[in-house]
Homo-oligomer: A and B are copies of this chain.
Amino acid sequence: MKISSRFSIAVHVLSLLAVMPSAHNTSEWIAGSVGTNPVIVRRVMGQLKKAGLVTVKAGSGGAHLTRSLDEITLLDVYRAVDVVEEGKLFNIHNEPNPLCQVGANIQAVLQLLLARAQEAMEGVLADITLEELVSVLSKQIQSRA
């Protein structure tokens, strides 16, 4: 099981917009950098737009960030592309036998305990801003230049 690559694609797209803010970022050009189909990019952009993270010009093309990099966290992006339902990272088997004491109560207990794990994961995403990511990315680019 893996969390959809839509999330990593979205981060890639936003990083591009951050690093090359003046370029004419069309879905086709972006798709070229990501290595996927322009429609995939447009779909992700649609979600980012709905979340208020970017503006996109229909017709002439091009996209821009609506906030500064330190105001966008990875959690914002993760929520925007809707890769994991809230509180439902873990699939809790949903037909336990209510006549068995364990079966009748295990769901509530698992829900409680596993929510902690999910929250910890999402908490880390909330603590990473695009500014930090782009900073790490820039160092990476320079070290390989």
Tell me the A residues contacting B by CB distance below 8 Å: 1-5, 7-9, 11-12, 15-16, 19-20, 32-36, 74, 83-85, 88-93, 95-97, 100-106, 108-110, 112-114, 116-118, 120-125, 128, 133, 136-137, 140-141, 144
Contact = CB atoms under 8 A, between A and B. Distances in A.
- Copy number in the complex reads 2
A8 B113 contact: no
A61 to B, nearest CB: 18
A9 to B, nearest CB: 5
A interface secondary structure, majority: helix
Contacts of A74: 113, 117
A144 to B, nearest CB: 7
B101 A141 contact: yes
